Amino acid sequence: MAGRGVTAPQQQIGLRTRVIASFVVLAAVLALVISLATYFLVQNSVVERREEVARNLAFTDARLVREQLLDVADRGAPAGRVSADVLQRSPADGVVVLRYGDIVHHTGSSFIDGSFNPQLDLPTDLTAVVADHRTGLQRVRLKGVPVLVVGIPLRIAGADAATTGLPSAGSGPTAWAEYYEVTSLADIEQSLQRLVIVLAVMGVSATVAGAFTGRWVAKRVLAPLVEVNDAVHALANLSFDTKLPATRDPDLAPLVSTFNHTVQALQERIDRDGRFASDVSHELRSPLTTLTNSIGVLQRYDQELPEPAQQAVALLGEEFERFQQLIGDLLEISRFDAGAQRLQRSPLVIGEFVRHAARLTCPDAVPVRIDADLEEAVIMADKRRLVQVLSNLAVNAQKYAGGVAEFTVRRVEGGLELAVLDRGPGVPASDRSHIFDRFARGATAGNRGNDQGTGLGLALVSEHVHLHGGSVRVEDRPDGSSGACFVVFLPANPVSIYDTEEDFEAAGIGPDQ
Amino acid sequence: MTRILTVEDDERIRASVKLALEGEGWAVEESENGERAMEVFNRAPTDVVLIDIMLPGVDGFEVCRSIRKVSDVPIIMVTARDDTHDIVAGLEAGADDYLTKPFAPKELSARIRALLRRTRAAEPALSHLRFGDLEIHQDEGVVTVSGVEVHLTRTEFKLLCELANNPSRVFSREVLLERVWGYGYFGDGRLVDVHIRRLRTKVEQDPANPRHVVTVRGLGYKLQI
């Protein structure tokens, strides 16, 4: 949208951004919810299943261990040996811990390193439960490995505490052992981690897809807006053939219809203004022709008139000339307003042209300084308008600034600069921006006593130059002398008259344009 | 005595122009519309015709074309609009020059004087020139292409002679304006362009690919040897 003239205030987020953001947020939230639900469902079912299996296995193993314990206990073998033997024969593949009185034995395992110490590493919550003769199950992390610990109290019925050295529960004859089976959950955790990665990737993908969908939707939704914007932009450039295509969309139809009506109304209005200017111009020209011819006849027989009548004729002549100039300028500027101005370019040899213009506009010989390579260079320009530009600048200098000091032409990037230097006091910085406004008069020009200007001269300079795609500015004289320097920049690709046909063609220069 | 016919529907302009031109010592015939203009023109020999484009009924272009059919008298079109289309159309209809209202009497008489000079201009140059199939007999005012005489207006003839007397020299539009029309440097280059175009339709076998009157890009025109 940038470059088409639409700029949102900086604090406000654009509609397009908001639509995309909504889609992104929606996609992200949905992905997050689905991922979390999936993760916890999978985790629960897998872990629960594993717990059930582990519990069943542990119970089976525990029963076997208990029977063997009872068996050896009956035979009066020493407890330490007994428990070690029993554990050797345990079918469990995880770590098995047997606490039998003060004696603790355990088997090793591949998934926990050798420093495993059952006394310290078994979770105390669980050992407390088992010590209370209840079965317990807990998921913990042992040495960084996720494990499931199942604890089962074993009642060694009938064992004689005195002979076996087994601890008795309380003062009763019954002795207890504690059996723990530790199962690794590393594989489950790994699977779950993998699941998390998959879900994360899916979540990110969904969010990105959301962003793309949002962009597409925004584009679809904003397409009419962009079209309207383009149309309005074209309208701003006074291109009145701009029309929005008819639409059946009930939300857009009123806008399209209003826009097209506005364009049409504007066009009619501008056409009317243009016709008015042209009609006024035509209507004024006839009486002006009669007046100028009649005044011409009066002036011719001037000598035959009495003295006061001669003075009156002289005044009439002067004032009529000024009036005619004003009408001419007004008509010219009204044609700019009506957008009816067209360039009529023809090839101009720069040196020749500027020297002629200087001679035409200045009564005394004024120096003309032209870059050597531009002296015999050709550009395409509207001769009539450029003459008016130089002549209005020269007239301005003569009326308000003691005359033209120098005309210069130099090559600059992208074109050339024509400058008119005067001998006046210069233009104060505060006046420089509006000196080219219509009827703007600088401080020195405020006095109307013998002011012969129309107040439109510099405005017309600006209009003519802009029609050429150029610009005009006023600055101090570059040589440091007192006076203003009016600089006209014209975009051009000057071609030397000695260049080839191809060079001329490339620069778009030909006599019949 | 030089006779000037002015065709103009606005009575006041007609009267003031008549006064101004009579002040120059010329005789002025008037016509307020196109139909009467032809009658007045046919009644007595006329030296210059001034035609307003906007006329009731038969318009100025039509009057210009009608006169051109029977005469190569110098014609000045007068227009109230500086509309390119009107000006070019007037020149295409055969006018030699144009003036935009409001014109000063001095300007008008200068234009008329330039046209009168042109008619009597006798070039002190070679009287007979030949460029391939194009032959120019300057003293007789005759131009032939492949032996067939072509009819040129006085302005076209003057333009061709200017080019032909310095063959291969490039004439800028400004120089031609000055020499043929008597304008200074800042005259309207379209005058030259339109007349060159009309000249080509008469002296070139293929006006779109001229062999005699050629364009020199950016500089102007020349007559090719």
pLDDT of chain A along its 513 residues, tens only?
A: 444 444 545 567 788 888 889 999 999 999 999 999 999 999 899 888 988 988 888 888 888 878 877 776 666 656 556 566 666 665 556 677 777 766 777 776 666 666 666 666 778 888 888 888 888 888 888 777 888 888 888 887 654 444 444 444 444 456 778 888 888 888 888 888 999 999 999 999 999 999 999 999 888 888 878 888 888 888 877 777 777 777 778 888 888 888 888 888 888 887 887 777 777 777 888 899 999 999 999 998 889 999 999 999 999 999 998 888 888 888 888 778 767 678 888 888 899 899 989 988 888 888 999 998 888 888 989 988 999 999 999 998 988 888 899 999 999 998 999 999 999 888 888 888 888 988 876 554 444 445 567 788 899 999 999 999 999 999 999 888 888 999 999 998 888 877 777 777 777 776 554
Cβ–Cβ below 8 Å for B101 and A495: no
A224 preceded by a cis bond (ω within 30 of 0):
no
Does residue B215 register a pLDDT over 70? Answer: yes
Query: How many residue pairs bridge chain A and chain B with CB atoms within 8 Å of each other?
Result: 112
More confident residue, A465 or B102: A465
Cβ contacts of B189 on chain A, cutoff 8 Å? 346, 383, 511
Per-residue tokens: A141: 């992390």
Residue for token digits 């009156």?
Answer: A312
pLDDT score for A446: 47
Q: Where are the beta strands (DSSP E) in B97-194?
A: 97-100, 128-131, 134-137, 142-145, 148-150
- Given A285, A357, A504, which is nearest B217 (Cβ)? A504
The model's pLDDT over B67-81, given as tens digits with 9 standing for 90+, comes to: 999 988 999 999 887
Identify the pLDDT of residue A168: 44
A387 and B CB contact within 8 Å: yes
Cβ distance A242 to A231 under 8 Å?
yes
Q: Measured at the alpha carbon of residue A148, what is the angle toward residues A144 and A152, in degrees to the nearest 5?
A: 135
pLDDT in the model for residue A499: 75
Strands B75-79 and B97-100: parallel
Mean pLDDT of B6-26: 93
**pTM given for the model:** 0.61
Answer whether A303 touches B (CB < 8 Å). Answer: no
Cα distance between residue A385 and residue A395, in whole Å: 15
- CA-to-CA separations, B10 to B30, B82, B97, in angstroms, rounded: 11, 18, 21
Q: Which of A146, A123, A147, A145 is nearest to A136 (CA)?
A: A123
Closest-CA residue of B relative to A294 is B16
Can you give the pLDDT at residue A348? 86
Quick check: B215 and A512 CB within 8 A?
Answer: yes
Q: Which residue of A has its CA nearest to B81?
A: A282
- Quick check: B102 and A346 CB within 8 A? no
For chain B, say whether A509 makes contact (Cβ under 8 Å): yes
A510 and B215 within 8 Å at the Cβ level: the answer is yes
Q: What HEC string does A212-269 produce? A: HHHHHHHHHHHHHHHHHHHHHHHHHCCCCCCCCCCCCCCCCHHHHHHHHHHHHHHHHH
In this structure, are residues A468 and A381 in contact, taking their beta carbons and an 8 Å threshold? yes
**Which of residues A60 and B83 earns the better pLDDT score?**
A60
CB contact under 8 A, A387 and B186: yes
Conformational region of residue A204, where left means phi above 0, alpha means psi within -120 to 50, and beta covers everything else: alpha
Q: Fill in the amino acid letter for A98.
A: L
pLDDT of residue A8: 47
pLDDT given at position A80: 57
Q: Does A495 touch chain B (CB under 8 A)?
A: yes
Terminal-to-terminal C-alpha distance of chain B: 41
Both structure tokens of A264: 């049409």
Predicted pLDDT at A198: 92
Ordered DSSP codes for A320-381: HHHHHHHHHHHHHHHHHHTT-----EEEEEHHHHHHHHHHHH-SS---EEE-GGGTTEEEEE
